[in-house]
Chain A
Amino acid sequence: MRRRLPIPLACGLVAAGLLGCSVRTADLTVVTSRDVAFDATDIDGLPSTKVVGTDTSYSVLLVPLGISRLDRAVEAALAKADADLLVDAKVYEAGWFLPLLPAWKPGFPFGVWTIEVEGKAVKLGRTPR
């Protein structure tokens, strides 16, 4: 007869296996992924929208299926507001890793790594260079 793990113990093992952290990695005054011209622009005087953009990659069986990139997160944020520039951008990196699920028999090591950028999106209203 197979013995089953008590549910609280199983939940505890899964929670213990779920390792992760999030850190703020950069504060940027301005950043853009778009090629635009800047000549005597009053950026402070332009309307802005607060936006968040992310780029996420995964790993399975310890093999990365992609790489998270900051420029893609910036582009995702700019695309949301159809803007050209992010002002006062804060960059966060977060990752978690699930070594074994379920904990009492072989599972699939699975990881997620996300770069998130939040800032004020500004549209310059000019044609790209």
Chain B
Amino acid sequence: MRSFARRFAPLGLTLLVLAESGCAYRYGTFPLVSGKLIDLSAFDLEGAEDRGRVTGRVSVFGLLFVSGEVPTFEGALEDALDSAGGDVLQNATATESLWGLPPLLWWSSWTVTGDALRTRKDAAASGRPAR
């Protein structure tokens, strides 16, 4: 029994390493994107306040079929805008990554990077879209 395990342990380990895969891909690039409540009746990017380049990220770690809340593009977008107090993201890039061997052991994340702008003048810019 021990010789069987010794013989096939390297093969099993090799297969596990090969199966332990990962990927990251670009979900999209957007000159303009927002999930926040914004005033569409007077939409003015030229007069908007520049909040700088920001990155938003949501991720989850999973083990044996169990994980936290599944990350989404919208969550990463919201994280990016909230981190800068903006309501619109310009020149945004979204990337999704998945590493590991689901459903045994894995790590999944969304990343959104872009230039945050604040178009609204009031404090309600951080609210969710009412539409």
Q: Which residues of A contact B36 (CB under 8 A)?
A: 29
Q: What is the interface of chain A mostly: helix, strand, loop, or mixed?
A: mixed
Interface contact A25-B33, CB-CB below 8 Å: no
Interface residue tally of chain A, by bracket? 20 to 34
Please indicate which of the listed interface residues A26, A33, A36, A88 has the most CB atoms of chain B within 10 Å of its own CB.
Answer: A26
Interface contact A32-B47, CB-CB below 8 Å: no
Binds A, one of B8-16, B20-28, B49-57, B99-107: B20-28
Alpha-carbon separation in the docked complex, A40 to B131 (Å): 21
Closest residue of chain B to A129, judged by CB? B31
Alpha-carbon separation in the docked complex, A109 to B33 (Å): 36
Q: Which residues of B contact A87 (CB under 8 A)?
A: 40
Closest residue of chain B to A36, judged by CB? B31
Interface contact A70-B94, CB-CB below 8 Å: yes
Interface contact A39-B40, CB-CB below 8 Å: no
Interface contact A44-B33, CB-CB below 8 Å: no
Alpha-carbon separation in the docked complex, A69 to B30 (Å): 11
Beyond the given A26-B72, A29-B40, A42-B42, please list 5 additional residue pairs across the A-B interface where CB-CB is below 8 A. A38-B32, A39-B44, A40-B42, A69-B27, A70-B27
Write the residues of chain B forming the contact surface with A, with a CB cutoff of 8 angstroms: 25-38, 40-47, 72-74, 77, 88, 94, 129, 131
Can you report 12 residue pairs joining A to B where beta carbons are below 8 Å apart? A25-B73, A27-B74, A28-B33, A30-B40, A30-B88, A36-B31, A38-B45, A40-B42, A41-B42, A42-B41, A69-B28, A71-B28
